[in-house]
A = this chain, B = another copy of it.
Amino acid sequence: MFNKRIKIKELLNSEPQEQQETVMGWVRTFRNNQFIALNDGSTNNNLQVVLELGKFDEDLLKRITTSASLKVTGTVIPSLGKGQKLELKADTVEILGDSDAEKYPLQPKKHSLEFLREKAHLRFRTNTFGAIFRIRHSLAFAIHKFFNDKGFVYLHTPIVTASDAEGAGEMFRVTTLPFDNPPRLDDGSVDFTEDFFGRSTNLTVSGQLEGELGATAFGEIYTFGPTFRAENSNTARHLAEFWMIEPEMAFCDLEDNMNLAEEFIQYIIRYAMDHNADDLEFLRQRLLDEEKQKPQAERSELDLIQKLQFVTENKFERITYTEAIDILLQSPAYKKKKFQYEVKWGIDMQSEHERYLVEKHFKKPVIVTNYPKEIKAFYMRQNEDGKTVAAMDILAPGIGEIVGGSQREERMDKLTERMKEMHIPAEELWWYLDTRRFGTVPHAGFGLGFERMVQFVTGMGNIRDVIAFPRTPKNAEF
């Protein structure tokens, strides 16, 4: 049995009592042929391993290079150095794997995030990405815990889907047909009945419609899975493959939906703050350093942790779309013609408008409700005014839209009428309509883009830095 080791995180939290311990990890630095900073990924904090001078072979010492892997057994003693309570006085050091310091791509200096994106297979070994991905883990676990504790059922909605009715964006085709000589119908078009699934299929853009099927049986469900957009957007905010959480609740209206979303966001942020204090502190410092490059005026008033605290400790602002437009029209920014895009009732608000509301006007997360029906999906519940739908978007500082949701149209006549207006083929969604046909109930739900949330909590500006192996136009490496 190999795995008789103590994790460095656990060791650093223990008391030095001259106990014997074995640790394994990778060398971060080696100073004066004496002090190894060893990291095993359990925490960004390195263990100081001390080698007694003269005790170890020269040949061995030469092999202790950055990223070499070691097995060290020794005695845990109080540390005389500052910044650490304890250190490991080595009795034996075994090289598990060498690392050629000249060839190792991550040198002991600061690399740019762009450079590290090309080394995505190794960037986990840096402090920044160690912190990000441990926080990402905590957020994912918190999401499952939040919904499990409330009795929601985790539903795995399909990834490959024949339904293209939602119109949430461009889709990727999934196929086993050969490009060179696909089977064709008499009219020359490709015969998708010969494809693997007997029809044309795509990668899902959302699990919501199937989620509604679950909610109208289990009461409350959530999804947490990958979704896809074949949009040719090469920006810091877009991924072709990203993870989404979509809770869906029966017996639930727009207000319940907002209450749940707010409680949910506050819960998962608090969870990360409670479980990843070290990692957040590291990222807070990183962000401060990054902001020092910016002109004073563009720097954030709050640091990363203050920003998170602000979200967990304050109620979100709730305004209607109509109120939001009024605020924009009354704003100094509008009057000074600082907005690039038009502002009037009916527009799909642009990022500059959302940021004004969140960052300048309210300075906190804002829930905007009751959008014009023309700019929202067919399944959103129509309000009495005939103009708006019971939608809600949550806008977060620095990120923009982080949640999109609505009460769903549960009335069969209203729903099919709207589908007709929007040219949604009812016959393809026969199963969706059945939920309205047989014991329909008021219900609501929302979608949270997981990577946007991770960005918000880690303070990372580019979405490619919060997912392990980003998929973007012209890029599917690793």
Which B residues are in CB contact (< 8 Å) with A256?
A: 1-3
Which of A109-117, A190-198, A261-269, A298-306 lies at the interface? A190-198
Contact B431 A478 (CB under 8 A): yes
Complex Cα gap A472–B226 (Å):
20
Residues of the B chain whose Cβ atoms lie less than 8 Å from the Cβ of A230? 176, 196
Task: Closest B residue to A121 by CB, please name it.
Answer: B431
A76-95 vs B, CB cutoff 8 Å, 1 = contact: the mask equals 00000000000000000000
Residues of B within 8 A of A197 (CB): 240, 471, 473-476
Whether the pair A133, B104 counts as a contact (CB closer than 8 A) is no
List chain B residues, Cβ under 8 A from A175. Answer: 172-173, 175
A441-B199 contact given A122-B434, A141-B144, A226-B225, CB 8 Å threshold:
no
| Listed stretches A156-164, A289-297, A327-335; interface member | A156-164
Asked whether any CB of chain B lies closer than 8 Å to the CB of A68, the reply is yes
- Residue A393 CB within 8 A of the other chain: no
In the complex, which of the residues A210, A220, A471 has the most CB atoms of chain B within 10 Å of its own CB atom? Answer: A471
A249 to B1, CA, bound (A): 13
1/0 contact trace for A1-32 toward B, CB 8 Å? 11101010100000000000000111100000
In the complex the two chains form, is B174's CB within 8 Å of A177's CB?
A: no
Q: Which residues, 150 to 196 on A, are CB-close (under 8 Å) to B? A: 151, 153-163, 170, 172-177, 179-180, 182, 189-190, 196
Give the distance to chain B from A377, nearest Cβ to Cβ, in Å. 19
Contact of A124 among B7, B42, B97, B217 (CB under 8 A): B217
Q: Which of B98, B121, B440, B475 contacts A439 (CB 8 A)?
A: B98
Contact partners of A478 in chain B: CB under 8 A:
158, 163, 210, 213, 431
How many Å lie between the Cα of A381 and that of B240 in the bound state?
35
Query: Do the beta carbons of A474 and B253 come within 8 Å of each other?
Result: no
Contact digits for A114-132, partner B, Cβ 8 Å, 1 yes 0 no: 0000001110110000100
Q: Is the CB of B162 within 8 A of A477?
A: yes
Residues of B within 8 A of A42 (CB): 151, 218-219
* A277-324 at interface with B (beta carbon < 8 Å): none
Does residue A274 face the partner (Cβ distance < 8 Å to B)?
A: no
Other-chain residue from B96, B232, B469 in contact with A442 (beta carbon distance below 8 A): B96
B474 close to A100 (CB less than 8 A) = no
B213–A67 CB distance below 8 A? no
Contact A159 B226 (CB under 8 A): yes
CB distance from A196 to the nearest CB of B (A): 6
Q: Would A438 and B104 count as touching, CB distance under 8 A?
A: yes
B69 touches A440 (CB 8 A): yes
Residue picked from A136, A151, A156, A210, most chain B C-beta under 10 Å: A156
Residue A34 is within 8 A (CB to CB) of chain B in the complex: no
Question: From residue 439 to 471 of chain A, which have CB atoms closer than 8 A to chain B?
Answer: 439-442, 467-469, 471
Asked if A252 is at the interface (CB within 8 A of a chain B CB), the reply is yes
B contact residues around A249 at 8 Å (CB): 3
Given contacts A2-B252, A2-B253, A471-B160, contact A217 B153 (CB under 8 A): no
Q: Are A97 and B441 in contact (CB under 8 A)?
A: yes
Q: Which residues of B contact A130 (CB under 8 A)?
A: 217-218
A9 contact set on B, CB distance < 8 A: 151
**A368: Cβ under 8 A from any B Cβ:** no
Q: A3-B251, A130-B218 are in contact. List 6 more A-B contacts (CB 8 A).
A: A5-B251, A97-B410, A156-B243, A158-B469, A173-B173, A197-B475
Q: List 28 A-B contacts (CB under 8 A).
A: A1-B255, A1-B259, A2-B251, A2-B442, A7-B151, A7-B219, A24-B251, A68-B439, A97-B410, A98-B439, A99-B438, A103-B437, A121-B432, A122-B213, A124-B218, A130-B217, A130-B218, A133-B155, A134-B153, A137-B153, A140-B144, A155-B468, A159-B226, A174-B174, A179-B182, A197-B474, A210-B468, A213-B478
